Each structure stands twice: as C-alpha cells, then as structure tokens.
Amino acid sequence: MQALTLRTEVQRRDRERIAEITTATDVFYPPEVAVAVELVDDRLTKGKASDYQFLFVDEGEVTLGYAIYGFNSMTKSSWDLYWIAVDPGLVVQPENAVAQVESAIVYGLSGALSEELSIKGGAIQQSNFNDYHVLRMSDMPELHIKIVATDNDFECAHIGMQVMGGAGFSMEHDMQRLFRDAHACNAHVMFSPEIQGAIFGQHALGASGPPPLL
C-alpha cells in the first residue's frame, strides 16, 4: 500500500475517476453523476474563480475518494459541503468502515475550516486535542454514511477462476464455492442482487439475519 496524499488541484483525469466512483456507489442517479463531472469541468475552466472547491485522497495515481464544498454567498462565513464519495474497496467490517469514513469527514472538515499550527520560540504550541481544534459533535452537520453493494464479487470470482483454471472447479478449493455464490447473488430470482448480496454478507460475517436462499 502506498502512502495516501491529499490534493486540492483538479486534474483532467479526475473527470473519469469521479464518474467511476459516483456510479459505483449506486447512490447517485445518472443525472447526478453528470453534474459531478460538470463541476470538475467548471473548476478546470474557471480555476480559483469557480464556486466549487475539491479535496481528493490519492493512493499513488489512484483517487480513492473526493469531496466538493463551496462558500455560501448568502452568509458571512458558512460553507456548504455538497457531497463526499469514497471507493472503500472490499469492506469486511461495515461498521468499522462507516466509523472510518465518519472520522475522515470530521478531521477533513476540521482541517479545512480551522487547522492551524502556531510556533513560538521555535516550538509548536499545539500539543493535543485540548489546544488543537477538532470539530465537536455540536459543530458537525448530520452525516448519512451508506455502504452499498456492488457486483465486484462477480468480477473477482471470474478473475479467480481465470487464474486457477480448471482447478478452480475442484471441491478441494474454496474458489468453486465463491464462484457459485457470486453467480447466485447476481442471478437469484427471489430478491434483487443488492438484497441477496447483503444477506450473503451478513451470513459470512456471522451477523444476525436470514440465511442465504439457494
């Protein structure tokens, strides 16, 4: 894993990646995805004169998530957070993933709004959270974090089978089970892939809920 870096400069390649991230969440409608790309174009065209500010999180050359925010011109010092979208990869513990995203939003907003290190006598004055301001619960907007199901399991199962070849169908390997589960999740007639995928996930994690219907 490469080091994560923060970036505020919008690049041409962000158009495609933002479309990928927002589409993969299954939360944004196609017109909203189009708007997300249009905001990138607005920033690229107008530069600092644009009303929209961006913050990206990159791992090497890959963008893992981004946020769009802007100054509320109807106020003296208020900013609007338009949206945040993150590609978390494979989520094993959904509750921990939600907590991590919430924490990232808190620290990201805190840094954007009030981050400051003061130096006196060659030493940084801030030592801990008592004198380094982090937004408190009363300062934060209401957050709605949603982990959404995708069909990545289907793609991963196919890649696994291609790697293992005919051995992947052997009962001696778990690959055959993963392959069948992925197909069942995407083709089950009783529920949509999203609902069936959630049921499989709960069962795999040992959480309470109905058993997978096969």
pLDDT tens digits along 77-130? 788 878 888 876 667 677 888 888 888 888 877 877 777 778 889 888 877 777
The pLDDT of 4-9, averaged and rounded, is 90
In whole numbers, what is the pLDDT of the chain averaged over residues? 79
Q: How far is CA 113 from the centre of its chain?
A: 21
Between 147 and 5, the higher pLDDT residue: 5
Asked if residue 111 and residue 50 are part of one domain, the reply reads yes
Same domain? For 9 and 81 the reply is yes
Query: Could you tell me the pLDDT band of residue 12, with boundaries at 50, 70 and 90?
Result: very high
My answer on whether 118 and 157 are in the same domain is: no
Closest CA to 54 of 45, 67, 41: 67
Domain span holding position 168: 152-204
* Per-residue pLDDT, 11: 93
Exposure on the CB side of residue 150, measured as CA atoms within 13 A: 18
Angle, CA 142 vertex, CA 93 and CA 6 arms, to 5°: 65
The predicted structure's pLDDT at residue 205: 67
Q: Nearest-CA neighbor of 17 among 86, 82, 83?
A: 86
Q: In the predicted model, what is the mean pLDDT of residues 127-153?
A: 75
Identify the CA nearest to 86 among candidates 112, 62, 107.
62
Q: What is the mean pLDDT of residues 156-160?
A: 76
> Is 19 inside any structural domain?
yes
12 and 118 co-located in one domain: yes
* Rounded mean pLDDT, 137-155: 73
* pLDDT for the residue 148: 66
Note the pLDDT of residue 116: 74
Assigned domain for 137 exists: no
113 with 16, same domain? yes
In a domain, 110, yes or no: yes
* pLDDT exceeds 70 at position 211: no
Of residues 187 and 83, more confidence is placed in 83
pTM (two decimals)? 0.54
Comparing 62 with 147, which gets the higher pLDDT?
A: 62
User: Do both 100 and 167 map to the same domain?
Assistant: no
- Asked whether residue 139 is assigned to any structural domain, the reply reads no
* Least confident window among 37-46, 120-129, 166-175: 166-175
